[in-house]
Amino acid sequence: MEDLNGTVDESVSWTNKPKVIIIGAGIAGIAAGEYLARKGLTDFKILEASNRTGGRIWSVDVDDDGHKAEMGANWIHGIERNPIYQIADQNHLLELRHANRNLRRRDLHATESGDIVSDKMVKEVDFSYGMLIAECEDYFHSSMPTPEEGDSVGAHLEREFQEKLDKYSNGDRRFRQMVFDQRILLECCITGCDNMSDVSLEEFGCYEELPGVHYTIPPGFEAILEILKKNIPEENILLNKPVKTINWSPSENNKSEEVCVECENGEKFYANHVICTVSIGVLKAACDRMFYPPLPKDKQQAIQSLGFGIVDKVILEFDQTVVDSDVFRIELLWDRDNVKEKDLRYTWMRKIYSFEVVHENILVGWLSGKEALYMESLTEDQIAEDCRDLLRKFLNRNDIPLPKRVIRTRWGNNPYTRGSYSFLAIGARQKDIYTLQEPLTASGCDKPQVLFGGEATHPTFYSTTHGALLTGYREAQRIVKLHTE
């Protein structure tokens, strides 16, 4: 489809105007609505289960000075061809970019006993690590078979890195191993998995990284949504409307509006087309009772095969700055040989790979997988104590106070996401994404009733906001094409 960013040729000539329901007011759903509105279609409703728009884009206030922290999407991943970057740039949302980074240039690589690993060693490990990641990506781009059947990115990286480590003496080896392990924890959060051994080596390279740096949005990622929402009539977005079922059997519904969407409260909405943008976590949990007739077997199979992991954040607010004024990140170099406990109560924090200084008194840490899910079950006081103890060890300072406030995310337990973002798990293929995005057309009908958007339906930009936005445009554009000359 040529109109990827939804920016060219506004005028269309409708043969007839259909009625549309969009399920989910995340960026995919909002983008779909914005596109339809811009093309002159106003007879649509966006049904959102929760009490806010944005879904996995969620910016919260962290102090009285207007500073934001992101509970979900954090960075604009790349610049070139990135529609999120274009919106942010055109609307001057990036003017404050780099403000924090200009002052805070140093990333501290610290071990559990407070040792600092030299930048030189970190750079050397990063170089090898970067080469190994590129090697993993090559399996997808070439037809080269993976070393083992069903091979994982985690297994490949571990095998190859151990070989590189062999040439170092014991002390050096240990520190390099710790840096490598830290990069793996980071990779788990980038990928959205518990462990890199869950990720398909064969398909890893199908994710496309856009060129350019990764920007944050100082007024908050939600500002992107607010810009898109300006084109959507307010009354078209209905909050607190969790959808229970989508009946796409025209014979059971009104002839002219073939789909019936029923909400948990029994309210029914009829339309010619439904764009479903709920996360694949929601589909995994509910697709067998959500759709009538049931989804085709290959779509059900694709939903179950694709990976959907948990990535969470822990945001700590202190009374005062707890790190030196030039430090941007404390990279946590955990020692794999120090794990004496198996109980997650004592080990969950070992999955946090760094703390980043987002504002003077505010640190943000990321973690993924089962440790993240466990963290979701803790009280904020427990998290505060565990993080204070951790920082005391890594910074070798007993004066680190308890944070005065902890904000943490609970994406695993959120019933309307059930996780964070999708990845190609072992056994999944890129073709599963194409199967997932395939619209449903009831027998005897010439136009599809149910269309699928959302980050997990983008074949190369899955897991991102730009991927999600483009799928919203893609499906809205599909509808426009069906009803215009």
Ligand X SMILES: Cc1cc2nc3c(=O)[nH]c(=O)nc-3n(C[C@H](O)[C@H](O)[C@H](O)COP(=O)(O)OP(=O)(O)OC[C@H]3O[C@@H](n4cnc5c(N)ncnc54)[C@H](O)[C@@H]3O)c2cc1C
Confirm or reject binding of residue 454 to ligand X (CB under 6 A).
yes
Please name every residue paired with 332 in a beta bridge, in sequence order, or none if there are none. 110
Whose Cβ is closer to ligand X: residue 409's or residue 477's? Answer: 409
Cβ atoms of residues 231 and 224 within 8 Å: no
Site size for ligand X (CB under 6 A): 39
Query: Least separation, in Å, of the C-beta of 65 and ligand X?
Result: 23
**CB burial string 391-417: b at 16+ within 10 A, e below:** bbbbbeeeebeebebbbbbebbebebb
With binding defined as CB under 6 A, does residue 75 bind ligand X? yes
Judged by CB under 6 A, which stretch of 54-62, 142-150, 173-181, 426-434 contacts ligand X? 54-62
Among 21, 36, 74, 229, binds ligand X (CB under 6 A): 74
- Using the contact rule CB under 6 A, the part of the chain among 72-80, 115-123, 158-166, 357-365 near ligand X is 72-80
The yes or no reply on residue 47 touching ligand X (CB under 6 A) is: yes
CB of 111 or CB of 354, closer to ligand X: 354
- Taking CB under 6 A as the rule, does residue 242 contact ligand X? yes
Binding ligand X by CB under 6 A: which of 253, 279, 437, 477?
A: 279
- Nearest approach in angstroms of CB 331 to ligand X is 18
- Integer-rounded Cα Rg, in Å, for the chain is 23
For residue 378, the SS3 value is: coil
Per CB under 6 A, the segment of 48-56, 156-164, 196-204, 231-239 that binds ligand X is 48-56
Q: Report angle CA 133, 182, 210 to the nearest 5 degrees.
A: 40
- DSSP element (H, E) containing 30: helix 27-38
Q: Which stretch binds ligand X (CB under 6 A): 252-260, 274-282, 350-358, 436-444?
A: 274-282
Our finding on whether 354 is near ligand X (CB under 6 A) is no
* Per-residue x/- track, 302-321, ligand X (CB under 6 A): ---------x-x--------
Three-state secondary structure call for residue 240: coil
Q: Assess 57 for contact with ligand X (CB under 6 A).
A: yes
- 328 in contact with ligand X (CB under 6 A): no
26 forms part of the interface with ligand X (CB under 6 A): yes
Query: Rounded distance, CA 280 to CA 411, Å?
Result: 13
Helices assigned H by DSSP within 247-379: 280-290, 297-305, 344-347, 369-377
Q: Is 421 in the site for ligand X (CB under 6 A)?
A: yes
Q: How far apart are CB 375 and ligand X at their closest, in Å?
A: 12
Asked if 59 interacts with ligand X (CB under 6 A), we say no
Task: Report the C-alpha gap between 73 and 91 in whole angstroms.
Answer: 19
What is the signed CA dihedral for 55, 46, 21, 433, rounded to 10 degrees?
Answer: -20
Three-state secondary structure call for residue 261: strand
In whole angstroms, the minimum distance from the beta carbon of 422 to ligand X comes to 8
* Neighbour-count burial of 25, counting CB atoms closer than 10 A to its CB (0-12 exposed, 13-18 middle, 19+ buried): buried
Give me the residue label for tokens 């690589």: 109
Q: Which residues bind ligand X (CB under 6 A)?
A: 23-29, 47-50, 55-57, 72-75, 77, 242-243, 277-279, 282, 311, 313, 409, 411, 416-417, 420-421, 454-455, 463-465, 468
